[in-house]
Amino acid sequence: MLVVTIDLVPGGFEPMRRTIASMRIANISDLAEVSDYRVEASETSNPLVGTPPRNAQCFVHGHARAQSVWALLAKASEEIMKTDPPNSGE
């Protein structure tokens, strides 16, 4: 399983660091060369644009594991963005 955590560090000031989003990407294909993944993501509310906190889940199908981890993260991010928009409430 991959766990991605997104921290915001305002102005690079470490004492103000806070987590604003996270993603868990789990292989559900017994580590096959071409695998499917379950993706769970969450993000905090964004007062700058008025969006509420959000949780979403999706799947990435048919990903070749020989690719860079960034390729999987890009696919997972793309699929999460296709789920209900933050303003729809969940």
Average pLDDT value for residue range 31-39: 97
Q: Is the pTM of this model over 0.75?
A: yes
Query: Listing from the earlier edge strand, what are the strands of the sheet with 2-8?
Result: 2-8, 18-27, 34-43, 54-64
The three-point CA angle 60-21-49 to 5° equals 110
pLDDT digits (tens, 9 = 90+) for 66-75: 999 999 999 9
The predicted pLDDT at position 85 comes to 66
Q: Which of 43, 42, 82 is nearest to 61 (CA)?
A: 82
User: What is the amino acid identity at position 51?
Assistant: T
Does the pLDDT at position 90 exceed 80? no
Average pLDDT value for residue range 59-78: 98
Average pLDDT value for residue range 22-46: 97
Torsion angle of C-alpha atoms 58, 42, 86, 29, degrees rounded to 10:
-10
